[in-house]
Amino acid sequence: MIEFVLLAVGAVVGAFLRYIMVASPKTIGGLPVNVLAVNVIGSFTLGLFSVLALALNLDANYTLLVATGFCGSFTTMSSFALETSNLMDGSRFNLVILNIIANVGLSLGALIGGRVIGNAVMSRLL
């Protein structure tokens, strides 16, 4: 039961902080920076935590709280960044490139595909 509580607490805190950070959209030269900042901060937090968790031999419950709960709800980019970094640490550069292309490409493709289907459905309904 404690695992669920830790996961839920981390997720609530992450979601709340993300909400606060993206509530008032900001741009720099047309580039939206709120979500970018969330992704960078989440990646930094997960990277720092992963090192500390390993170095301090932290209980897996802390991973539920910080990595899965907080970072998972604050941003999903942090997990992508950590996986890519781990591949680089293992000198698996072909997988690094594939991971980046797959994550970014498939996410963008799904977004565009969803927009195309949504527009098609809406145009038929209107």
Polymer length of the chain:
126
> Confidence band (pLDDT; 50, 70, 90) for 44?
very high
What is the pLDDT, as a whole number, of residue 74?
Answer: 94
- pLDDT tens digits along 7-41: 999 999 999 999 999 899 888 876 678 888 888 89
Tokens found for residue 109: 């493709």
**Cα separation, 53 vs 39, whole angstroms:** 20
- pLDDT tens digits along 65-122: 999 999 999 986 876 888 889 899 999 899 899 989 988 887 888 668 888 888 888 7
Using the predicted structure, report yes or no on whether residue 60 has a pLDDT greater than 80: yes
Cα 74 to Cα 18, 53, 69, 93: the distances in Å are: 5, 19, 8, 28
**Cα separation, 126 vs 118, whole angstroms:** 12
